[in-house]
Chains A and B, each alone.
Chain A
Amino acid sequence: MKTVSKHALLRGTGLVILATAVLYGCKDFLSNAAEPQGTLNQQTLANRAGVEGSLIATYRDLDCTNSLNRPGGWGCAASNWVFGDVAGDDTYKGSDHLDQSPINDIEGYHWGASGAGLYLEDKWGQVYEGVVRANSTLRLLKEVVTTSPGEFSAADKNGIEGEAIFLRAHYLFEGWRMWGNIPYYREDETDFRKPNEDSSAVAADLLKDLDSAIKLLPSTPRNGQVGRATQWTAKAYKGRVQLYDHQYANAAATFKDVVASGTYALETSYEQVWTAFFAKENGKETIFAYQASANDGEPNAANANEGERLNFPYSPSHFACCGFNDPTQNLVNYYQVDANGLPLSMSTPSSVWNASDADFNAGNLTPVDPRLDWTVGRDGVPFKDWELYSVTWARDRTNAGPYGPKKNIYEKASGAQTTVGWQPQQQSSMNIHLFRYADLLLMLAEAEVETGDLNGAMGLVNQIRTRAAQSAQGCAASADNNVAARYPQCTGDSRMAVPINDPSITWAKYDVRPYGAFPDVAYARAAVRTERRLELAIEGQRFFDLRRYGMLVAEQAINNDYLPNEKLRRTYLAGAEPIAERHRFFAIPPIEIDLSKSGSTTNLKQNPGW
């Protein structure tokens, strides 16, 4: 019995050892299963395709992507509509009270209080994801150039490096004009809990990067691909940074260089700027734009201006949703002109030009700048080539006012609408201008005013005004829209753009004329600033412009001209606080300050006052 037991024990132990040995002998049992599935690794990408792909991904971050962490929702929009338009006096948040309520905090200037942090985090995340992608490109480029020197021609190597550095500067410029004091990351840095730099140091870093990019970049887009930055893009940006940094003489010189190169020009008429017609996109006026694409194989239309999708009229319009970013009464009033065809705001105080609380609807023949009807959807006015804009398109008129944004609306005939996605009618391939030539010219005018060249400034402003006088919204009547039903003269008239005094126009009276003289600096300054608002309304620039003009100017515009009247028009604005010195910069998202802690040190410092 005992021997049997021993034998059994031995045999059994043998069996167990054998079975164990079989598995352990196959020593790859664990490591084979450890390989990640369905992804690429660093080695796969260390070549031309990897570097170019990494650069492409850097461009793509210009607008919201479907992977950006978006705690707020739409703060990543290429157009900056939340921070540039809603935060300023151009637009209301829109929709109804509670929809995207974090924007209420942006709009009410409660930037440290609550929901604002979410939208600010959208923007912060997008800015630094862009920086991360740019820096990855630069690192990978360096690696490939080192390991396989033949992979790129010198031109390509420089071009890629220049584009990546330019894009990094673009993203950090965005961060800088939002927050001022931000951390600046280059490709060799690994500590992502760095302290922020002082605003002026950031400006110096931006200029340094832009200078590098100008040296590296070709004068025309690499590979002839219009989406790419050139040395002129970088140079235009350089002037922009200089102007934001109040280096007026430098800015003027830089801008004049760009102008003199003849690279850019104004489109002949205003409606050709914000357009979805393929032939007119990427025209001479485009300095840099987010290249939207629709029906490009992406099944949810993620590339078709995801960041703008809320900013369409609500049901029952064709677009069905969501009624955000609606022009303010203040903005609409601003388009009134005086007897000389000059802005009424130039010759009257706000108690006059901003007196009207009434809906500015079709048939109100107060003379206005024709750009009004390329910028704002108004009740009874043809809406590009769709149909008559209707006040019923506002989701909640009490909250959002009667108007709708218009520049971002693609033309029906452009065929730019996607066929895919949740609400295809809200997304299109219309590009979003990040920097256009009119913007540059007005910046140059601004620099000239500050450097004393008033005539130069007036010439530039008049150039803009002359172009504005080239066209007005026409009938654009078609068989299936209801324009001709209300305006019999429109029957058969399918012209979307017509001369501003075209007899078919019965919904408005347009007038816009050049200035005859800039008598003094103050007048010139006001004229340039006024022109900027009229020309660039709802393009995400306004609030940044106001802050650049100085907090006194911003406080005058917001606290005196805007809020007191607008609080009566939109009762929810009663909760808005007046802006003050601390609104010079947005609050850094509180979560990022928390995340920047290493040990007991908080590396990111909050901006003053928040």
Chain B
Amino acid sequence: MYTYGRSVMENVQPGKYSFLNRSLRRFSAVWLSVLFVLGFGGTALGQQVAVSGTVTSTGGSPIPGVNVRVDGTEVRAVTDAAGRYRLSAPADALLTFAHVGQRPVQTTVAGRTTVDVTMANISYLEEVVVTAYTEQRRGDITGAVASVDVAAAKNQTSASIIKALDATVPGVTSQTSGSPGSRTTIRVRGISSFQNNDPLYIVDGTPVQDSYVNFLNPEDIASIQVLKDASAASIYGSRASNGVIVIETLKGSNTGSPKATLRARTGVATPVKGYNDILLTNSLDYFAVQKARYLNAGQPVPASLIGIYGDPNNPSVPAYTFVTPGAVLTRDAFGRPLTVDASKYSYPNSLIEPGSAGTDWWSQVFGSAPVQDYNLDVRGGGDANAYAVSFNYFDQKGTSKYTDFKRGNVRVNTSFNRSKLNFGENIALSLDRHYGGIPDDPSTQAENGILGKDILQQPVVSVYDIAGNFAGAKGVPADNSSNPLKNAFDRKDNISKDNQVFGNVFAGLKMTPQFSLLSSLGFDVRQNSFAGYSAPTPQNNEASFANGISEYNYQSLDWTWSNTARYLKTISRSSFDFLVGQEANAGNNRFLSGSISNLLNSGIDSRYIQDALADPNTKNVGSSGGRNALLSVFGKAGYNFADKYVASFTLRRDGSSNLAPGHQWGTFPAFGLGWRITNEPFLANNRIFSDVMLRYGWGVTGNQQIPSGRIVSTFGGNRGDTFYDITGSNTSIVPGFRQQALGNPDLKWEENRSSNIGTDIALFEGALNVVLDVYKRTTDNLLFDPRTPGTAGIAAPPIVNIGKMRNTGFDFSLGHTGSWWNATFNGSHYKNTVLSIDGVQTFFFGPGATRIATDGSQTINMVGQPIGAFYGYIADGYFQSAADIAAHATQDGAALGRIKFRDVNGDGVINSEDRTIIGSPHPKFTAGLDLGAHRGNWDASATIFGTYGNKIFENQMDFYVFQDFSSNVRKDLLANSWTPQNPNAKYPILDINDIYSGKPSSYYVKDGSYTRLRSLQVGYTLPGQARYLPGARVYVQGENLFTKTSYDGLDPALPPVNASGAAGDIRDQFMGVDQGAYPTSRIFSIGIVTSF
């Protein structure tokens, strides 16, 4: 069955051995003798020879980390980075070479001193992967389970490996911002529900729901499997509806002596694109736009602008944009201060702000940032134990000033074998620190963040005032932006800390070779805290003179105790695999927050919430918390007949405390069938199809991810909502209460039924591997809180099981492994459709809260459309003539050069009834391409990712095109706006009175497709005889070097904004809206990997 690798004979050349080798040889012999005397006395003892050699892949590249073992002894070695090993063995010994993912090789020494072997990749279906509670051979898997190319994923610099999943595994989308350590929105096969669509992660058997996964050092990860369909995932029952991602960390190895690997990488990041590529950076160019806006409207340039730029026909940069009254010594002909009495300046009340010829705000805030990543892991062990200890330090500064993400991580994985018992633990301690106030998960009202509106501050505003304090737009008409550099500076000491202990302890008992028990107690202990500062902004038009601090502390404990029993039985050509198990999970959390304002001393050491340190009247503290529990039993039966017919059945029952008594328990069945056609006689030894497996799976998964305690109605109140000054005292209030949330005593499970047809095909002896899956998933009884009528009041609506959603799609991967190169192409497509909302409503709006979304939202959830579709008017070009206006339906503000909206319902009036679906943020197709090549000591790899057919709603146009709040504008706005001579311009007419063209419309909807070279790495392995660091691999890496897109906003790789409703996270209803996302970074780095 196994094909043995060819072994190359080489004659022994005695003179070549050095003294060291001779010593080693002698030492090994002595050591072996002792061992043999102690424990293996019965083994025949032949003549010892020193054996060495190189292990290579079929493609010729060295394979490091291969276990080489002298059969029947404890003598082992591990190959180094150059694939070389060395050991002593009897001349007639049998050597076993073993390595994950490679077919094991056995060969006899046969008197040789050099034994080189070539190891072949294990064919896809022979691979053993960890899926649900057990290891399984691929050939026994009937569900859609994709393995992540972990090596490729690690080639992207990130605190978390999940950011890279979309390119390396089909059927998974990931959306993230360029902010270091920020969250990643992972979706498996579309979107299941109106809310809470994060997948379940199983890390070394312990379930965890987390959108960051920053606690896992990417270098600690050995494998990742994505369970995409219900037949694979339903063993995780209640929490598997959004897919399950099973992660195993690197374990110890029975290599004997400790083996250490050091990985170090350092680099520098810059944003892929900046607003200075898009926006004006010259004050007078900016004035020219404003002037056109007035003149086109038939209005003179207003005094307020003349007060800044002087003569409209000969504008000039003002000496000052704001001078405190009384400090002006002389004025020019336009009333602009020319000279000032600087002694009148005092901060914060009497400011003097110089004008700027053009401030490039982007460059003030964004620039290059270093990243460093150091890992050391030590692994080893013997028959009775195995251990892996790793250390990680990761520090990535943000490309935005004053931001930084740091992480320290220690992991200890050990296991012990004692007769039939094995036990051990996998524990990671992770501390991360996130400095700076740039929100990495901005909300729907993100405009005041540094990437929202503030970066659009006018170029005439200076960075600093005459005293070196931060300047602002005070005095610049209608500009209500803040100085973005100040914004960043003020928050530089804001710190978010995450401390986490995550892992499990386990014990297994192998009672007979067929029957084993395993018990595992997993735990996830977290503490998250934040301390933030808000500074006064006296230099703003909307000046604020108060400062304040806020902090919070969140603690949570989740534990999962699972017990499984497994029984394997083979009768003749049938083999059976039974698993029964039971699991209990409980969690609790508590959140404590406080704030206080008007600090007497704003120094960082005084930022505590204490009466004496600030205005005690502003002190606000609060706490909240939650508890939840899950109880489960489950079973799984697998049947395999002659490796030809495979069947599996799973059944799980889950009880959830979040649901109503009587409805707490849900049952989740699934089955899968597999047919390995190539094992049928008619395809046996087929020259094309080496291995073909057909799979079908069906199953039900559940979702109960809603806030706890929503079964009953709850009451409460707070000082700003229900308390009232009934005595007319002006300064005191009397407590009051109201109903806060309506309970639903009938809450039950949300159910997701999915079916999947797939095939795994190996062609030409595995030279080409194809995996293709087609699926349909329907979520029913969707947990969701449809809005109640206003007449019912503002209590949170009950969460009800209403709504239905469907996802259909396919995903595939094509892989080729050649002699010196390999390539894997992953592609996926999904189509999401809302089938029903509550049986009555046909739509409800997304959570949009931007300034233009005055009439609902830019996004809508509508029956027959995908979740979060873009909604608005259809922009039909511009009004070109009076006749055009007259012929068109009645439209508010219709005028030349303004945007013409389509009369969709044909009633002759343009009103909100004419809004319609104007695009979808969902991609039609996403693809990833992993490439690898090696020649001699050189190797190279690249990952390309692309998304096609998705649209972006460029909300930032509200500012940089339509000039909400007189923000800065696009460079080409003046030249490219409508005029009678330029009727097909990119932008509508510049018209100060045009408040109509900026309504949400298809004008904002842009193609969001892009193709990006995510990473490119070139490595060189130093020869074993190199003087320094022999066997070490050094590499250079570039990330996001190249992007092809037609999107002319900042970056098409947009994270969905943070939106939440009473039932949880609803960001999937507001995808693809560009409110100024932190752009992706281009990173150049160098690294080294060395073992010793």
Name A residues whose Cβ lies closer than 8 Å to a Cβ of B. 1, 4-5, 8-9, 11-13, 15-16, 19-20, 23-24, 29-42, 44-45, 50, 53-60, 65-69, 72, 96-99, 101-102, 104, 108, 110, 112-115, 117-118, 121, 124-125, 128-129, 131-133, 136, 183, 185, 192-194, 225-228, 278, 281-282, 291-300, 302-303, 306, 314-316, 320-322, 395-398, 416, 419-420, 422-424, 429, 431, 482, 571-572, 574-575, 589-592, 594-599
B-chain residues with CB within 8 Å of residue A36 when the two chains form the complex: 708-712, 714
**A114-B999, A296-B719 known; A37 and B735 CB under 8 Å?**
no
Q: What's the Cα separation between A60 and B737 when bound, in Å?
A: 10
- Selected interface stretch from B22-30, B296-304, B693-701: B296-304
A35-B709, A101-B854 known; A59 vs B515 contact (CB < 8 Å): no
The contact of B728 among A20, A34, A185, A226, by CB within 8 Å, is: A226
Instruction: For B591, give the chain A residue with the smallest CB separation.
Output: A38
Other-chain residue from B546, B561, B723, B998 in contact with A298 (beta carbon distance below 8 A): B723
Which of B150-158, B537-545, B805-813, B1027-1035 is found at the contact surface with chain A? B537-545
Closest to B786 in A: A595
Closest to B656 in A: A30
Query: Residue of A at shortest CB range from B625?
Result: A37
- B717 pairs with A53, CB closer than 8 A: yes
Assembled-state Cα–Cα distance A5/B657 (Å):
38
Report the Cα distance A87→B789, complex, angstroms. 26
Complex contacts, B540 vs chain A, CB 8 Å: 315
List 10 additional A-B contacts (Cβ < 8 Å) besides A56-B736, A57-B724, A66-B720.
Answer: A16-B563, A101-B852, A117-B855, A295-B617, A296-B723, A297-B732, A302-B719, A320-B542, A420-B598, A571-B993
A44: chain B residues within 8 A (beta carbon): 715
Which listed residue, B633, B719, B965, touches A99 by the CB 8 Å rule? B965
A residues near B478, Cβ cutoff 8 Å? 96, 395-396
If A57-B717, A68-B794 touch, whether A19 touches B730 (CB-CB below 8 Å) is no
Greatest chain A CB density within 10 A among B509, B709, B793, B965 is at B793
Residue in A8, A30, A226, A316 whose CB lies within 8 Å of B629: A30
Are A114's CB and B855's CB within 8 A? Answer: yes
B986 at the interface (CB under 8 A from A): no
What's the Cα separation between A4 and B477 when bound, in Å?
89
What separation, in Å, do the CA atoms of A572 and B297 have in the docked complex?
10
Shortest Cβ gap from A263 to chain B (Å): 16
- Known contacts: A133-B738, A228-B726. The answer to whether A294 contacts B855 by CB under 8 A is no
- A293/B731 contact (C-beta < 8 A), A227-B726, A299-B620, A303-B720 known: yes
Check B514 for interface membership: any CB of A closer than 8 A. yes
Q: Are B542 and A397 in contact (CB under 8 A)?
A: no
Known A23-B582, A41-B712, A291-B724; contact A31-B541, beta-carbon cutoff 8 A: no
Interface centre among B519, B567, B712, B854 (most CB of A within 10 A): B854
Query: Which chain A residues lie closer than 8 Å to B325 at the CB level?
Result: 316, 482
Do B715 and A45 touch (CB < 8 A)?
yes
**A514 CB, nearest partner CB in chain B, Å:** 33
Please, how many angstroms separate the alpha-carbon atoms of A108 and B738 in the complex?
37
Per the 8 Å Cβ criterion, residues 601-657 of B in contact with A are: 615, 617-620, 623-631, 633, 655-657
Q: Is the CB of B977 closer than 8 A to any CB of chain A?
A: no
The bracket for how many chain B residues form the interface is 35 or more
State whether A303 touches B713 (Cβ < 8 A): no
Given A35-B709, A192-B791, A597-B841 in contact, is the A423-B544 Cβ separation under 8 Å? yes
One of B304, B623, B664, B790 near A125 (C-beta < 8 A):
B790
Tell me the complex Cα distance, A228–B724, Å. Answer: 11
Q: Contact flags (1/0) for B587-609 with A, using CB distance below 8 Å?
A: 01000000101100000000000
Is B734 an interface residue when CB atoms closer than 8 A count as contact?
yes
Cα–Cα distance between A37 and B714 once the two chains are bound (Å): 10
Given A16-B517, A102-B854, A314-B541: A297 in contact with B617 (beta carbons within 8 A) = yes
What's the Cα separation between A597 and B841 when bound, in Å? 8
**B733→A299 contact, CB < 8 A:** no
The answer to whether A225 and B727 touch across the interface, beta carbons within 8 angstroms, is yes
Q: Contacts of B841 on A, CB cut-off 8 Å?
A: 594-595, 597
Offer 28 A-B interface pairs, CB within 8 angstroms, sorted by A.
Answer: A5-B511, A15-B563, A16-B581, A16-B582, A33-B629, A39-B740, A53-B735, A54-B736, A56-B734, A59-B724, A67-B720, A98-B851, A98-B962, A101-B851, A132-B738, A185-B791, A192-B791, A194-B791, A227-B724, A278-B730, A296-B732, A300-B620, A302-B719, A314-B541, A320-B543, A419-B617, A572-B993, A595-B789
Is A113 in contact with B512, judged by CB distance below 8 angstroms? no
Please tell me if the beta carbons of A98 and B965 are within 8 angstroms of each other in the complex: yes
Question: Which of chain A's residues have a CB closer than 8 A to the CB of B33?
Answer: none
A131 to B738, CA, bound (A): 12
Q: How far is the CA of A572 from the CA of B992 in the complex (A)?
A: 9
Nearest residue (CB) in A for B792 is A192
Q: Is the interface of B mostly helix, strand, loop or mixed?
A: loop
Inter-chain CA distance A150–B942, complex, in Å, is 80
Q: How far is the CB of A397 from chain B (nearest CB, A)?
A: 7
Q: CA separation between A115 and B998, bound complex, in Å?
A: 13
Q: Mark B509-546, 1 if CB is under 8 A from A, else 0.
A: 10110110101000000000000000000001111101
User: B541: nearest residue on chain A (CB-CB)?
Assistant: A315
Name the distance in Å between A39's Cβ and chain B's nearest Cβ: 4
B658 contacts across to A, CB distance below 8 A: 34
Decide yes or no whether B209 CB sits under 8 A from chain A.
no
Complex CA–CA separation, A262 to B536 (angstroms):
50
Interchain nearest-CB distance for B341 vs A (Å): 16
B residues 986-1019 near A (Cβ < 8 Å) are 992-993, 995-996, 998-999
Do A40 and B715 form a contact, CB below 8 Å, given A16-B565, A19-B582, A117-B855?
A: yes
A195 to chain B, nearest CB (A): 11
Given A12-B509, A19-B582, A125-B794, residue A98 in contact with residue B998 (CB < 8 A):
yes
B908 interfacial contact with A, CB 8 Å: no
Q: Determine if B277 is an interface residue (Cβ-Cβ < 8 Å).
A: no
- Bound CA–CA A68/B722 (angstroms): 11
Whether A38 lies near B623 (C-beta < 8 A) is yes
A71 CB to nearest B CB, Å: 9
Q: Is the CB of B794 within 8 A of A117?
A: no
Bound CA span A128–B722, Å: 15
Q: Is the CB of B854 within 8 A of A118?
A: yes
Q: For A50, list chain B residues within 8 Å (CB).
A: 737
Residues of A within 8 A of B582 (CB): 16, 19-20, 23
Contact A39 B738 (CB under 8 A): no
- B3 in contact (CB, < 8 A): no
A114 contacts B911, CB within 8 Å? yes
B135 at the interface (CB under 8 A from A): no
Query: How distant is B918 from chain A, measured CB to nearest CB, in Å?
Result: 16
Contact of A419 among B567, B615, B711 (CB under 8 A): B615
Min CB distance B1042 to A, Å, is 38
Q: How far is the CA of A482 from the CA of B325 in the complex (A)?
A: 10
Residues A34 and B542 in contact, CB atoms below 8 Å apart: no
**Residue contact A31 to B514, C-beta cutoff 8 Å:** no
Would A29 and B720 count as touching, CB distance under 8 A? Answer: no
User: Chain A's nearest CB lies how many Å from the CB of B722?
Assistant: 4
How many Å lie between the Cα of A39 and that of B743 in the bound state? 12
Chain B residues with Cβ below 8 Å from A416 are 730
Residue among A13, A39, A114, A597 having the largest count of chain B Cβ atoms under 10 Å: A114
Bound: A560/B282 CA distance, A: 46
Flag if B725 contacts A303 (CB, 8 Å).
Answer: yes
Q: Which 3 A-B pairs have the closest CB atoms?
A: A36-B709, A302-B720, A132-B793
Question: A residues within 8 A CB of B474?
Answer: 315-316
With known contacts A281-B730, A396-B477, A572-B995, A57–B722 Cβ distance under 8 A: yes
Check B935 for interface membership: any CB of A closer than 8 A: no
Cβ of B716 within 8 Å of any chain A Cβ, yes or no, is: yes
Contacts of A183 in B (CB 8 A): 791
* Contact present for A133 and B793 (CB under 8 Å): yes
Q: In the complex, A33→B720 CA distance in Å?
A: 30
Most buried by B among A1, A420, A422: A420
CA distance A53 to B716 in the complex (A): 10
Whether the pair B789, A592 counts as a contact (CB closer than 8 A) is yes
